[in-house]
Structure 1
Amino acid sequence: MIPRIFRPLALGLLALAFAVPAAHAHPHVYVTMKSEIVYDAEGRMTGIRHHWTFDDMFSSYATQGLESKEKGKFTREELQPLAEVNVTSLKEYDFFTQGKMNGQKAEFEQPVDYFLEQKDDLLTLHFTLPLKKPAATKDVDIEIYDPLFFVAFEFSDKEPITLKGAPGSCKLTTVKLGDQTQSKSLSESIFARPDPNNPFGAQFANKIGVKC
């Protein structure tokens, strides 16, 4: 099933996508991501703030038919209905965010503070995923990926992941796809040898680890 947000774009590519075996599947939407892992004044993790910038093709396609005061330029208010569609549609895919805290599955609330903005003709979706309950964490392991691999995520080149308000003892590690040298330093609970039962897209996940 293609996420609703991507279905209009997918229609023109559907025949090709299903004609290619899963082993040779490839994404049709590309996202450059930055994220903040947020902590409260007591040093407890409270959630994740995502900033996802879509590629130029999808950014252009997504805004077709939208009304704006200035042709081709959209304000945050004009893009808000599209932002609503984004976050609503991604619910069934857990917002492409999987994680464990102290070895237990991380449970998130519905997104808050979400909006789209346009810059240099590219759309960026901003949203926060609050934890259901703030938690003191020794180990946090997070993967961000589309299980269908229709969407490919890539870390931003500059400060892709930051810790906001974290205790000074917390150390951040990121592992990009294909980077095997850093992966050994992350918690093995989620980054161990790939499970063949995992969704296809999981093997393309970039990974985030925090140890406190």
Structure 2
Amino acid sequence: MQSSTRRFACTAVLGALVASAAAGKVAAHPHVFAEARLEVAVAPDGQVEALRHVWRFDEMFSSTVMLEFDADTDNRLEEPELREIASVISESIAEFGYFQVITANGKDIGVKPVDDMKVLFDDGQMIIFFTTEPEEPIAITASPTFGVYDPTFYTAIDFYDDSNMVLEGAPKNCTRTMVVPDPDEAIAQNQATLTEAFFSDPTGNDLSKLLATRMEVNCR
């Protein structure tokens, strides 16, 4: 029986991707690549209102998804097929906190279930859009951090430009910084926590979180 950490890959991906997932372990390097954009919206009362996500996937992964869900084999996806893909993605990444982490006041904060997942294809690439909301109130003046990462290391979610992390509606004294961690430095600083168990179950370790590209907010 396939493990939950491989559910999305084995549901949506065929061929080589499925073969690698079925080998018995999730390798600690990505097989799927996505270019991301994150917009953090702040309400007038200073509370974090929503996180709006856009992920554009690589052409190889997108083509295998097309083949998997193009039920009538007409080489295009109709609305029912796109809704099915959206449902599969939403259900599959929900158990991993939608591949994101919010940290404020020294603790991680979860997000509410997503109900607006949308999928489209553009120029041979699959793009998904969805919104998350924090499970509990977060004041932007608490200088929270917003990271996006796949704890299984199966998907690399990258922000290729600083402009792809946006802070909207925050007070003028709040600034945001995109932080791209150095893998070697992260591993060196956390060497004591890395064991063989990590490589057989990446979700049991915080290294993927440490390697996540993140938005750090500072309000002075």
Tell me the TM-score range normalised by the shorter chain.
Answer: 0.7 to 0.9
Which residue is 2:38 aligned to? 35
- Report which of the two has the higher share of helix: 2
CA-CA distance at 1:179 after TM superposition: 8.8
Distance 1:71 1:65 in 2: 12
AA aligned opposite 2:164? P
**1:113 corresponds to:** 116
TM-score by length of 2: 0.77
Structure 1 position 207 matched with structure 2 position 214: yes
Number of positions where the alignment pairs a residue of Structure 1 with one of Structure 2: 197
Is 2:173 the partner of 1:175?
no
By percentage of residues, which structure has more strand?
A: 1
Q: Distance in 2 between matches of 1:173 and 1:47?
A: 18
In 2, Cα distance between equivalents of 1:210 and 1:162: 11
> Are 1:50 and 2:86 counterparts?
no
Identity %: 27
Question: Quick check: 2:59–2:125 contact (8 Å CA) kept in 1?
Answer: yes
Name the residue aligned to 1:163: 167
Contact 2:6 2:21 (C-alpha < 8 Å) held by counterparts:
no
- Whether contact under 8 Å (1:143, 1:206) holds in the other structure is yes
- In the alignment, is residue 147 of structure 1 matched against residue 147 of structure 2? no
| 1:46/1:133 contact within 8 Å kept | no
The CA deviation string for residues 50-95 of structure 1, in whole angstroms up to 9 with x for no partner, is 1111111111111214348994333555411110110111111111
Change (3 A) 1:179 1:3: closer
Contact 1:76 / 1:117 at 8 angstroms: preserved in 2?
no
Counterpart Cα distance in 1 of 2:9 and 2:75: 20
Query: Unaligned stretches of 5+ in structure 2?
Result: 195-204
